[in-house]
Amino acid sequence: MSYLFPTYARWDVTIKEAKGSWVTDVNENKYLDFISGIAVCNLGHANEEVTKAVQEQLTKYWHMSNLFHQPIQEEVAKLLVEASDGDAVFFCNSGAEANEAAIKLARKHTGKTKIVTFLQSFHGRTFATMSATGQEKIQQGFGPMLETFQYLPYNDLAALDKLESDVAAIMLEVVQGEGGVVPAEKEFIQKVSETCEKIGALLIIDEVQTGVGRTGKPFGYQYYGIKPDIITSAKGLGSGLPVGAMIGQKSLIETFQAGSHGSTFGGNPIAMAAAKVTLDKIFDEKFLIEVEEKSNYLVGKLNSLVGKHPLVNDVRGKGLLVGIECKEQVSEIINQLRENKLLVLPAGSNVIRLLPPLTVSYEEIDIAVKTLEDVFSTVDYPVEAH
Ligand SMILES: Cc1ncc(COP(=O)(O)O)c(C=O)c1O
């Protein structure tokens, strides 16, 4: 019997230790981890420099109210601002909280209430972010949702034409992660940005999964030639310690005054110590070029599986957020991969999602692709008649 709410369909695996791209379970099975805590452990598990920084902070102090100045918050905020188009940061503890902050800021700043998001998006599990999420299965049983969200089809340029000036913000991911690893088309993102200008809405980019180097840029939106008003980040930011951040442009700063918004733990110094080292390492140009190179290597190898095995339909993504779309449901294939000691995730029902640590080696990529090939070759998928 478990003392936990069964909110996760847990696998029958208990990890006892993890280092780099590898995790070991209590039965001494060693797995290659292409999940990274769902895009969190971007520097691999137990990075030594992060560990050292956290240990040092633990010996100084663990927590201080945000009523005090905490220089380490300023240092992390500066790294986020310098690597993005934002000017100020609000720290919280998760992706959902970062999106909550963004939604509140957009409503207060514009004086409008409607927030436009997209079908198959994922923005979190709190009431506002669940309402923002364009997936019925996430909302089921919790209705009614907050009324002021409107969902449009993703990558659909024409749908944007219908929007009017009552919109406070358009919020979206540049690659829909949970929704099936679906990258946005460049034209679509540019039109979203132009539409925001036209109707006086703020542009919020949810970088919770795509940020912190995951796509090969500090933030994924930087592939698209746009300048968002608000960027939200979490997951990889603290290398496994809980940190969320909302980064906003200068024009928005005065909208949040003392008392407008807050978080007891937001900007906690232990989490900040982890974030500072994480960002120092990942926002380095050389590091990010390597992410792109590894991505090209991985995607190149995976592309060679398309056509080779009838099960594989498409390979897509950005950087080291990669999806393999299959012609059938992938849950059983994912179980088989795990039995073959490769940890991967689903995204939607028919996409295998690969999220290796950004520090993954070429040899580890080879092992992962070989395991995928081996498992695919055992799947009895009917070959289409020509
Ligand atoms: C794009 C996106 N936004 C928001 C969230 C919610 O983040 P958290 O689980 O930290 O609240 C997630 C989590 O998967 C996400 O992928």
CA distance 254 to 219: 24
Cα-based angle 148, 153, 157 (whole degrees, multiple of 5): 110
Distance in Å, CA 93 to ligand 1 centroid? 11
pLDDT digits (tens, 9 = 90+) for 199-253: 999 999 999 999 999 999 999 999 999 999 999 999 999 999 999 999 999 999 9
pLDDT digits (tens, 9 = 90+) for 54-71: 999 999 999 999 999 999
| Ligand 1 touching residue 33 (CB < 6 A) | no
Q: Please, what are the domains in the chain?
A: 48-282 (3.40.640.10)
Distance in Å, CA 130 to ligand 1 centroid? 10
What pLDDT does 380 receive?
76
Q: Do the Cβ atoms of 354 and 319 come closer than 8 Å? A: no
Say if residue 134's pLDDT is above 60.
yes
Percent of the chain at pLDDT > 70 equals 98
pLDDT digits (tens, 9 = 90+) for 145-196: 999 999 999 999 999 999 999 999 999 999 999 999 999 999 999 999 999 9
Q: Which atom of ligand 1 is nearest to the CA of 125?
A: 11
What pLDDT does 261 receive?
97
What pLDDT does 383 receive?
53
Q: Do the Cβ atoms of 49 and 277 come closer than 8 Å? A: yes
What pLDDT does 384 receive?
52
What pLDDT does 379 receive?
83
Give the residue, by CA position, lying nearest to ligand 1 atom 3: 123
| Ligand 1 touching residue 94 (CB < 6 A) | yes
pLDDT digits (tens, 9 = 90+) for 18-58: 999 999 999 999 999 999 999 999 999 999 999 999 999 99
What pLDDT does 354 receive?
98
Distance in Å, CA 96 to ligand 1 centroid? 6
Q: Mutate which of 35, 126, 209 to test ligand 1's pocket (most atoms within 8 Å of Cβ)?
A: 209
Place of tokens 């500066």: 78
Q: Which residues lie closer than 8 Å to 358 by C-beta, 6 or more apart?
A: 42, 43, 213, 214, 282, 287, 291, 294, 320
| Ligand 1 touching residue 100 (CB < 6 A) | no
382 — pLDDT class (breaks 50, 70, 90): low
Distance in Å, CA 259 to ligand 1 centroid? 25
- Give the mean pLDDT of 344-354: 96
Distance in Å, CA 378 to ligand 1 centroid? 34
Q: Do the Cβ atoms of 318 and 177 come closer than 8 Å? A: no
Q: Which atom of ligand 1 is nearest to the CA of 244?
A: 10
CA distance 290 to 278: 16
Q: Mutate which of 131, 181, 208 to test ligand 1's pocket (most atoms within 8 Å of Cβ)?
A: 208
φ and ψ at 335, to 5 degrees? Answer: -60, -40
| Ligand 1 touching residue 95 (CB < 6 A) | yes
pLDDT digits (tens, 9 = 90+) for 80-132: 999 999 999 999 999 999 999 999 999 999 999 999 999 999 999 999 999 99
Is 25 buried (19+), middle (13-18) or exposed (0-12) by CB count in 10 A? middle
Among candidate residues 216, 208, 206, the one with its CA nearest the CA of residue 172: 206
Distance in Å, CA 385 to ligand 1 centroid? 41
What pLDDT does 307 receive?
83
Query: What average pLDDT is seen over the chain?
Result: 97
Q: Mutate which of 133, 235, 345 to test ligand 1's pocket (most atoms within 8 Å of Cβ)?
A: 235
Distance in Å, CA 228 to ligand 1 centroid? 18
CA distance 181 to 347: 7
Percent of the chain at pLDDT > 90 equals 96
Q: Which atom of ligand 1 is nearest to the CA of 209?
A: 16
Distance in Å, CA 156 to ligand 1 centroid? 23
Distance in Å, CA 343 to ligand 1 centroid? 20
Is 3 buried (19+), middle (13-18) or exposed (0-12) by CB count in 10 A? exposed
CA distance 201 to 279: 30
Give the residue, by CA position, lying nearest to ligand 1 atom 7: 95
